[in-house]
Each structure stands twice: as C-alpha cells, then as structure tokens.
Amino acid sequence: MNRALIECVPNFSEGRDPSIIEMITKPILDTEGVELLDIDMGYDFNRTVVTMVGQPESVLSAVIECTIVATELIDMSQHSGEHARMGAVDVVPFIPLRGASMPDCISLSERYAEAVSTILNLPVYLYAESSRSDQRVRLPDIRKGEYEGFQSKLESGDWEPDYGPATFSPKMGVTATGARQILIAYNVNLDTDDKSIANTIASAIRTSGSLIRDDSGAKIIGDNGKPLRKPGVFKSLQAAGWMYDENTAQVSMNLLNHNVTGLYDVTEKIRDEAKKIGRNVTASELVGLVPLEAMLSAGLKYHNNPDDADDIDLVNAAVSGLMLDKFGAFDSRSNIIEWAIKGAHE
C-alpha cells in the first residue's frame, strides 16, 4: 500500500544569496521521507519558492526546521523586493496529493503554526482551507499593507494572529500557513517596460476585477459601504502587474483551480489584450512545479493533431504554445509534479 503523500511549498523572503537558501533547504535533504523537487529563486522579487513532497510527518518536521533556519538568517528590516511579502517565511501551504485529504493538511498547517509560534514567538495566520474567519481566507487580504504595515495591523486588535503573540518582530515579520489545492504560479511577460499595462491586463482577467471609479477618478461606494468592482474575466484567478526586470513588465498570476481556469485560457487572453494596445507576449514562466493534467490540457489546445499525440507530445506542444522555453530549455521531467516525483525515485 502506498504511503500518503503531500506537497509543501514554503516561500522565503530571500532570492539573491544562494548560500542562505542552501542552508534553509538543508533540513529537507536531511529528512528521510521527503524529496526536494524544486528551488525557484527570484532576484528582483527577492523571494524563493521551494517545493517538497513526502510523507506528512516528515514534511512537517522538515518545514519546521527550515522555518527556524530562515528566521535566523533573514532580516526583514533589511529586505526589499518586487513581490508582496510580510515575513522571512512568508507563506507555508500544505497540499494533499496521494492518499492524503484536505482535513489532513489542515491539521498539518495547525500543527506547524503551533510549533513555530511556540519555538520562535512568531505570529502566524491561518489561511485558505485552514482559515477560521472569512477575513483570512485569501492570502492577499492577510498580506495587505505588507511587512511595513503589520506593526499597526497587530496593534489594531483586528489582526490578532491565530497562533503566536500579537507583537511585531521587525526581523521575522509574520507568517501565514494553510491547506489548499494545487496552485499554479504562472507569469507572462510583455514587450514593454510600462508596469501599468501589466496592471491593466491583470485587473481585466483576475476574479476580483477592478475598482469602478467616477469621472474624477474617485472610487464609487456601494450601499454596503464597500467600493464597487467590475468582475474580471476568469474565476479562480489572482493576478497583478509586476516588473520581471527593468525592461519587462509581467502579468503575475496564481491559478487557484486549473480545471476552472487553465494555462491556455489565461495566456491567450493576455495575448489578445496586449495586441489591442500594440503589445506582445514574449515569454512565460512557471514558479515552482505544475500538475501534469494542467500541461496536457494546454497541449490539447496547442497541438495540431491532439488525437494522435501522447503525453510527451502534448506537453511539448504546451511548452511551445505557452512560450515556456523562451528563457532556455524547459525541463518537463523536473517541472511537472508527477514526473519529478517519479524521477526522484528512479
């Protein structure tokens, strides 16, 4: 009988010093029953996304040790980067894979939060399926104001952490953890250095859409006292405009359910929106790993003869159509979850 398998994808607020990331991820390599599948460092974001899979108890033990090391080595008071962030260990999601349930991962997130808050005096928030209030389901709602705003948030009384003290640690910041389904972090680059173009496209496609404003540019407030919004095109999609580098704007996305909104759909919509204003999509990238099913789904749309194509053919068609190979060779064996797990055991 196969043992239960979960995925954990901790995000660390360090993307420029490989030696620090090497020390942070060492506990994963040293823990039996866990495989380190991917380390994705982003220099401009100054952030690293780590992907591990393994037996639930082993993963929990490893990520607690990673957190202890990261909070020793990262000083948030000296941190800057393009990506929104609130702590040295910014977010730690647990994802059920084989033989594991969502309640299993909720329990793991709660045990993680209890352990690191006790050991480190670290404020920890529960989000996604682990959330205990509607206000904390969405990570962007918790992260609003980012690191710089958390001292006042903690002092306000409305943002008392689920675990740990309601006091701000300038060095560590705060952390969020929770259980969720597989999320695809996916970015699409544009041939412009104008971040506002990426922001405009992001607001048009994301689920939350954009604020409705009057002729003077002021937000229009609804009867419930909240600003009115124009919904975006897609469901289960978070998106924002970022800068990939000083010359390249990027639509940065989280596909929360690739069966509802897939890679092909968002890529082609961004391509269409860019063309309307004389711009083009130049490349795309995955942050972390992607489920095979998501790549096959895109491949079916991009392949010229999908009925006669095998999985490898469909994945290759997806890589080409999504332009995942524009930054260099895309290694499907290490970037697709199922194939990476298989390779780790060969």
With beta carbons less than 8 A apart as the criterion, state whether 61 and 111 touch.
Answer: no
Inter-residue contact 8 to 28 (CB < 8 Å): no
pLDDT at 83 (0 to 100) = 83
Cα 346 to Cα 212, 339, 342: the distances in Å are 54, 11, 7
Distance between CA 104 and CA 96 in Å, rounded?
Answer: 8
What the block records as the tokens of 341 is 């797990």
Query: Going by CATH, does the domain composed of 6-179 fall within 3.30.990.10?
Result: yes
Specify whether domain 184-344 bears CATH 3.30.70.670.
Answer: yes
Q: What is the dihedral of CA 336, 238, 203, 285, to 10 degrees?
A: -20
What value, to the nearest 5°, has the Cα angle with vertex 129 and ends 151 and 81? 40
Q: Are 156 and 129 in contact (CB under 8 A)?
A: no
Tokens of 235: 């469901």
Buried b / exposed e across 254-279, counting CB within 10 Å, b at 16+?
bbbebeebbbbbbbbbbbebbeeeeb
Amino acid 231: pLDDT: 87
Residue 303 falls in the annotated catalytic set = no
Same fold yes or no, 6-179 and 184-344: no
How high is the pLDDT of residue 107?
98
According to the model, what pLDDT value does residue 328 have?
79
**Catalytic one of 79, 83, 303, 345:** 83
Low-confidence stretches of the chain (pLDDT beneath 50): 1
pLDDT at 2: 61
| Domain boundaries of the chain, sorted by first residue | 6-179, 184-344
Q: For residues 207 and 232, is the Cβ–Cβ distance under 8 A?
A: yes
For 252, the token pair is: 């940065």
Closest CA to 284 of 320, 332, 233, 255: 320
Find, among 62, 85, 68, the residue nearest to 14 by Cα: 85
- pLDDT score at 218: 75
Pairwise CA distance, residues 324 & 123, whole Å: 37
In the block, residue with structure tokens 């002021």:
218
- How many CB atoms sit inside 10 A of residue 102's CB? 16
Residue pair 287/263 in contact by the 8 Å Cβ criterion: no
pTM above 0.75, yes or no: yes
